[in-house]
């Protein structure tokens, strides 16, 4: 089946948030499509869309609506035909898409690890008792307090640049960012020390870029199939099914990571109380094709072990 490829007259419109990292991800997507179809750069147009999550910076995400705050306006424009595809950080994505949209294309996954950011220290263990740590992630907050309940964890919203400025201003002694984001931004100047996933299990889908499309757009499906990374898709199928089965949101500290080992998949997952007072972890191994099933099975195990009341959390 022949499809009309985009041209400078009728460019393919790529929707994205406006942060430097979001733009870097949109340009990476564009570069891969250019290479796959030997197209000129002006056959594409980057469309920046303002989302609620970027406008409201003074409150925690859980207080203003959760993950959908980074996607809603972009998905509305995609459904309306104002853009042709939407590029997302997968760790920001809800597990369910609006009717009419599909999220089934992933670029090769970057480094999944969190990065410890400090101008004077190299690790969590070097932090003094009562040290101030800045993070906007409920998962990172819970994991830190689980290991170090003496720490003072404060809210640290904003994009990478904003959070680095807060750190330089002395608002906190350290913070955490995704290593993948720093690499995509080329920020080798940032004083970052990657944290082993064995020590701090990352967010589900951390380091992965997803591309969303209209379900009935065969031309776009044809183009995106050419840049889809199958191993990333296999890993995320397990991780996101695990997240969905836990009914994960920005109000629930959940971590998960799937690794491919030959023809096998190793999935690890963790749920925590927001104050770090309790953490429950588990793992599964099996054929790659069983990834989604393992995600559901592991989620059910953690729910059973957590018991009634574990998820009835109230944070201060």
Catalytic residues: 92
Q: What is the DSSP letter of 66?
A: G
Other Cβ atoms closer than 10 A to 284? 21
162 neighbors 20 (Cβ within 8 angstroms):
no
Q: In whole angstroms, give the CA distance from residue 24 to residue 26.
A: 5
DSSP conformation letters of 169-236: TTS-SEEEEEHHHHHHTT-TTS-EEEEPTTTSPPPTTTT-EEEEEETT-HHHHHHHHTT--HHHHHHH
Both structure tokens of 135 = 């993070």
Task: Residue 178: name the closest of 200, 158, 153, 207 by CA.
Answer: 207
């Amino acid at each position: 089946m022949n499809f009309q490829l985009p041209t400078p007259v009728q460019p393919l419109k790529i929707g994205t948030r406006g942060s430097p990292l979001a733009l870097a991800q949109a340009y990476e997507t564009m570069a891969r499509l250019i290479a796959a179809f030997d197209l000129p750069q002006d056959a594409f147009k980057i469309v920046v869309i303002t989302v609620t999550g970027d406008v409201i910076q003074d409150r925690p995400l859980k207080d203003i609506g959760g993950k959908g705050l980074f996607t809603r306006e972009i998905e509305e424009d995609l459904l309306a035909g104002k853009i042709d595809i939407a590029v997302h950080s997968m760790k920001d994505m809800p597990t369910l898409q609006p009717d009419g949209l599909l999220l089934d294309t992933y670029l090769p996954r970057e480094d999944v690890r969190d990065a410890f950011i400090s101008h004077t220290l190299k690790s969590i263990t070097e932090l003094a008792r009562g040290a101030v740590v800045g993070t906007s992630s409920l998962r990172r907050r819970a994991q830190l307090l689980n290991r170090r309940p003496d720490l003072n964890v404060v809210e640290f919203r904003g994009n990478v640049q904003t959070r680095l400025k807060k750190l330089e201003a002395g608002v906190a002694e350290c913070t955490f960012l995704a290593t993948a984001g720093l690499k995509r931004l080329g920020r080798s100047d940032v004083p970052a020390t990657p944290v082993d996933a064995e020590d701090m299990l990352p967010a589900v889908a951390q380091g992965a870029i997803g591309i969303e499309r209209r379900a009935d757009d065969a031309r776009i499906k044809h183009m995106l199939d050419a840049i889809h990374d199958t191993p990333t898709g296999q890993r995320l199928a397990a991780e996101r099914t695990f997240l969905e089965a836990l009914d994960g949101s920005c109000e629930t500290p959940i971590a998960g990571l799937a690794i491919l080992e030959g023809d096998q998949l190793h999935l690890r997952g963790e749920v925590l109380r927001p104050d770090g007072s309790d953490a429950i972890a588990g793992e599964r191994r099996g054929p790659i094709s069983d990834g989604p099933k393992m995600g559901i099975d592991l989620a059910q195990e953690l729910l059973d072990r957590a018991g009634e009341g574990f998820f009835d959390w109230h944070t201060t």
